Amino acid sequence: MLEQAVREKPADAAALKELAAAYAAVEDPRAEETYRRAIAAAPGDLPLRVALAEFLWRVRKFDRGNEEMESVILLAPDNPRLKAHYGVNLAGQGRFVQAAENLDAARRGGFDDADVLYYLGSALWETGRLEEAANRLREAAAKAPRRVSARHRLGRLLLFQGKSSAAVAELARATQLDPQSAEVLLDYGRALEASEDTPRAEAAYRRALELEPGASLGHYLLGALLARAGRREEAEGHIAVYRKAFEKQQQERLRSGSRQAEINLGWTELAGGLLEEALAQFRRHPEDVEALRGAAQALSRLGRHEEAVRTLEHALLVEPENRQLRYELDKEHEKGEDK
């Protein structure tokens, strides 16, 4: 329907905008071109330009998404919400210096809600501006006193700075706000231990492990504390659990790294037209959704549409709510019907 509407009125900004959003929802690569056509038809529509930047970020075209967002900010330099939105996304990309600049500009422009202050404090910490980071996180906690995240992050920062007493106070408040968080309890225990309050630190570690028995860090922290207290037998039991989990994580990282390298090679070969070679790489990982998508694309380009359909159907069994897979399956059915 939308594609037909655009064919009938190729310069209709509203129809182009809706079609671009539909493409973006399933990460169809046609979304970018359609957004740009919509922007050409309605150059003053800033939300439309922001939507294009968000799509580019979502499909991991970060540099192009950033360029698009910077062009939006140039058009509306006094809009602090745009700078805040950009700053949060830059933080997600690990670009903390730029993130801090944009978030601080948003704060100074009057948009200083708890989220902006929290992300700004976190970005400042990552850039080594610790006192500024602590101030912003305190402000975030004051803006939203019932939320745990800012107090937890502030407590961790204070502990990192060696301010154990202050860290205990903040993390105690965080545990009161969320007594079921094993992660907060472990950090609270670390602060208590740094303050030489060993009995309460031990109690915090044990409570965290009650909530999350598989928390390997909790076993390590409790085991180390018990070892320092001379309680060797119990300490060794916790350290053994930690070591086993650590070895398992390392093995999984190796497997995951190897798997992703082979899948990346498959996409490279597919882009270069080496279809059989790409298919062979993807088929090494028959339960990985990304590999199944790649295999389906290789099969489709080889003209093996029935196999491509079966491959996408199998991928949907792994991720039944994946809209992109559903879209690609529908398109593959159409290709098969055209033959």
pLDDT digits (tens, 9 = 90+) for 67-80: 999 999 999 999 99
* Number of folded domains that form the chain: 2
What's the pLDDT at 82? 97
**295 in a structural domain:** yes
Radius of gyration of the chain, Cα coordinates, nearest whole angstrom: 26
**Do 134 and 158 touch, CB atoms closer than 8 A?**
yes
For the CA atoms of 104, 105, 111, 113, what is the dihedral angle to 10 degrees?
-10
**Do 73 and 86 touch, CB atoms closer than 8 A?**
yes
Select from 77, 101, 132 the last residue of a domain.
77
Nearest to 95 by CA among 25, 103, 179: 103
Q: What residues make up the domain containing 51?
A: 1-77
**266 in a structural domain:** yes
Determine the average pLDDT of the residues in 229-255: 87
**204 in a structural domain:** no
pLDDT digits (tens, 9 = 90+) for 38-59: 999 999 999 999 999 999 998 8
**287 in a structural domain:** yes
Task: Label residue 160 by pLDDT band (50, 70, 90).
Answer: very high
Give percent of the chain above pLDDT 70. 95
pLDDT digits (tens, 9 = 90+) for 290-301: 999 999 999 999
CA 202 to CA 196: how far, in whole Å? Answer: 11
Amino acid 230 reads G
Mean pLDDT for all residues in the chain: 90
Select from 54, 77, 100 the last residue of a domain.
77
CA 125 to CA 99: how far, in whole Å? Answer: 12
Nearest to 14 by CA among 36, 40, 33, 42: 42
**333 in a structural domain:** yes
Task: Label residue 252 by pLDDT band (50, 70, 90).
Answer: confident
pLDDT digits (tens, 9 = 90+) for 186-224: 999 999 999 999 999 999 999 999 999 988 999 999 999
**276 in a structural domain:** yes
**73 in a structural domain:** yes
CATH number for position 275: 1.25.40.10
**233 in a structural domain:** no
- From residue 223, alpha-carbon distances to 37, 160, 185, 217, 239 in Å are 61, 21, 16, 10, 5
Nearest to 47 by CA among 12, 84, 76: 76
